[in-house]
Amino acid sequence: MRAVVWHGKGDVRVENVPDPRIEAPGDAIVKVTATAICGSDLHLLDGYVPWPAMQPGDILGHEFMGEVVETGAGVTRLKKGDRVVVPFVIACGQCFFCRKSLWSLCDATNRDREKLEALIGHAGAGLFGYSHLYGHYQGGQAEYVRVPHADHGPIRIGRGDLRDDQVLFLSDILPTGWMAAENAGIEPGDTVAVWGCGPVGQMTIRSCWTQGAGRVIAIDRVPERLAMARAHGKAETIDFMAEDVYGRLQEMTQGRGPDRCIDAVGAEAHGLGTVDAVVDKAKALVGLGSDRPHALRQAIQCCRKGGTVSVPGVYIGVLDKFPMGAAFGKGLTIRGGQTHVQRYLRPLLDRIERGEIDPSFVITHRCVLDAAPDAYLTFRDKTDGCIKVFLTP
Ligand SMILES: NC(=O)c1ccc[n+]([C@@H]2O[C@H](COP(=O)([O-])OP(=O)(O)OC[C@H]3O[C@@H](n4cnc5c(N)ncnc54)[C@H](O)[C@@H]3O)[C@@H](O)[C@H]2O)c1
Ligand SMILES: [Zn+2]
Ligand SMILES: [Zn+2]
């Protein structure tokens, strides 16, 4: 089959690879009908998760859907022919964490747990297409995927009116935006500031309104992403290249600061020549640092006293110059983590079915799987107005 394969920093290729097969009774094989490229894939492309955590030949992709073509003997909920969206989190459904609905912290699915434990103390769940720290599962930017624990992830989608592009983002960015807003603990009428107007930021903005925000302020520097935040997200916007974010946010909130601040940027923030951002970049270039947390620092600095900082943006290692003094001094609550996708599938599919949200608005580019290497670069470099790439094998 054809699949998008990682070969090194900045090097992804589409290649012929062996078809996946059933390896355990709980597996299903899904024939992919639609997949997408995520901001998290860029961390792999850009070498933020370097060798040996990524190895040449790894198949990328964790946002995908398709048709079940085969099931293992132990699968009871799915059958051949079902149309499914597959969450990027692989979870067993039975461990301590799954029973608490903390799906992305599943204790049973990460086949690389010792390596991740050595890095962060305890290992999270296995993830599709996401390195030899998260279980080295092959990803969904491919014609077929092996889906382990198939009874505890994929959600069945009817053959009715919904198109693939309307439901695909249940696999990741829609639940991620929803959980980002939930983690922010929005109280009715709150002012929420969202850093990053990529696909995750866009889903977050929409979720903030649904969860009761009175005002949403979105921050980025890419004109078409800011425009989408205004047009689809009904957000006010700040271009961080043109304005001082701290000063502007204080001015907009009468000096109090936004009640809730959400970092939908993650480890590859840009920083307009500020000292912290220049040092982050230099350290990342020579391999002394794994993250560039400028947006997170700024969110903590801007947030009102007693407010919440929610972090859907992915961080990888030990952060430099983390402003713990500000977080402590202002009594902030900080929450984040990989999305517990399984928890949100049903309620968010219900919202899509009721027509309350159509996440396909975020798609700017549609192409075939073979065009993925170019699409990765277009998405990474934000050229050609690219915000989200929808791929069909
Ligand atoms: N928690 C999860 O489970 C989960 C799931 C999906 C994605 N993510 C993460 O969410 C983040 C965003 O994903 P995406 O697909 O939207 O990625 P993206 O790269 O398309 O978007 C990031 C945006 O942040 C903007 N940005 C950069 N520096 C900034 C700054 N200093 N201030 C404001 N904006 C800034 C960029 O211009 C870009 O538009 C990534 O870190 C990704 O890994 C997390
Ligand atoms: Zn993702
Ligand atoms: Zn589990």
SS3 per-residue string spanning the chain: CEEEEEEECCEEEEEECCCCCCCCCCCEEEEEEEEECCHHHHHHHCCCCCCCCCCCCCECCCEEEEEEEEECCCCCCCCCCCEEEECCEECCCCCHHHHCCCHHHCCCCCCCHHHHHHHHCCCCCEEECCCCCCCCECCCCECEEEECCHHHCCEECCCCCCCHHHHHHHHCHHHHHHHHHHHHCCCCCCEEEEECCCHHHHHHHHHHHHCCCCEEEEEECCHHHHHHHHHCCCCEEEECCCCCHHHHHHHHCCCCCCCEEEECCCCECCCCCCHHHHHHHHHHHCCCCCCECHHHHHHHHHCCCCCEEEECCCCCCCCCCCCHHHHHHCCCEEEECCCCHHHHHHHHHHHHHCCCCCHHHHCCEEEEHHHHHHHHHHHHHCCCCCCCEEEEC
| Domain termination site, one of 313, 336, 359 | 336
Q: Which residue(s) pair with 392 in the sheet?
A: 368
Residue recorded with tokens 């959980």: 179
Question: What is the DSSP-derived secondary structure letter of residue 313?
Answer: S
If you measure from the C-alpha of residue 148 to the centroid of ligand 3, how many angstroms do you get, rounded to a whole number? Answer: 12
The pLDDT tens digits of the residues spanning 15-33 come to 999 999 999 999 999 999 9
CATH number, domain at 168?
Answer: 3.90.180.10
The pLDDT value given to residue 193:
98
The pLDDT value given to residue 273:
67
Residues 154 and 193 in one domain: no
List the shell of residues around ion ligand 2, using CB closer than 5 Å: 38, 40, 172
| Domain termination site, one of 288, 305, 336 | 336
How far apart are the C-alpha atoms of 312 and 178, rounded to whole Å?
10
User: One-letter amino acid identity for 78?
Assistant: L
Residues 282 and 298 in one domain: yes
The pLDDT value given to residue 288:
66
Residues 119 and 186 in one domain: no
If you measure from the C-alpha of residue 101 to the centroid of ligand 1, how many angstroms do you get, rounded to a whole number? Answer: 25
Backbone angles phi, psi at 384, to 5 degrees: 55, 30
Measuring from each residue's beta carbon to the nearest atom of ligand 1, which residues come in under 6 Å?
Answer: 38-40, 42-43, 172-173, 176, 195-201, 219-222, 225, 240, 264-267, 269-271, 294-295, 312-314, 338-339
Pocket residue to mutate for ligand 1, from 104, 128, 220, most atoms within 8 A of Cβ? 220
DSSP of 164-189: HHHHGGGGTHHHHHHHHHHHHTPPTT
Pick the ligand that lies closest to the CA of residue 88.
2
If you measure from the C-alpha of residue 226 to the centroid of ligand 2, how many angstroms do you get, rounded to a whole number? Answer: 21
If you measure from the C-alpha of residue 271 to the centroid of ligand 2, how many angstroms do you get, rounded to a whole number? Answer: 23
Residues 127 and 151 in one domain: yes
The pLDDT value given to residue 292:
81
CB 106 within 8 A of CB 95: yes
Pocket residue to mutate for ligand 1, from 37, 40, 89, most atoms within 8 A of Cβ? 40
| Domain termination site, one of 311, 336, 361 | 336
Q: Is the peptide bond before 52 cis (omega within 30 degrees of 0)?
A: yes
Could you read off the pLDDT tens digit of each residue along the chain, which spans 393 residues? Answer: 999 999 999 999 999 999 999 999 999 999 999 999 999 999 999 988 877 899 999 999 999 999 999 999 999 999 999 999 999 999 999 999 999 999 999 999 999 999 999 989 999 999 999 999 999 999 999 999 999 999 999 999 998 889 999 999 999 999 999 999 999 999 999 999 999 999 999 999 999 999 999 999 999 999 999 999 999 999 999 999 999 999 999 999 999 999 999 999 998 888 776 777 777 777 777 666 667 889 999 999 999 999 999 999 999 888 888 999 999 999 999 999 999 999 999 999 999 999 999 999 999 999 999 999 999 999 999 999 999 999 999
Residues 18 and 162 in one domain: yes
How far apart are the C-alpha atoms of 322 and 170, rounded to whole Å?
32
H/E segment holding residue 349: helix 341-353
- Ligand 1 atom nearest 43 alpha carbon: 43
Residues 207 and 151 in one domain: no
CATH number, domain at 252?
Answer: 3.40.50.720
Q: Count of domains in the chain?
A: 2
- Ligand 1 atom nearest 219 alpha carbon: 33
Segments forming the whole domain that contains residue 214: 174-336
- Ligand 1 atom nearest 271 alpha carbon: 31
Residues 185 and 162 in one domain: no
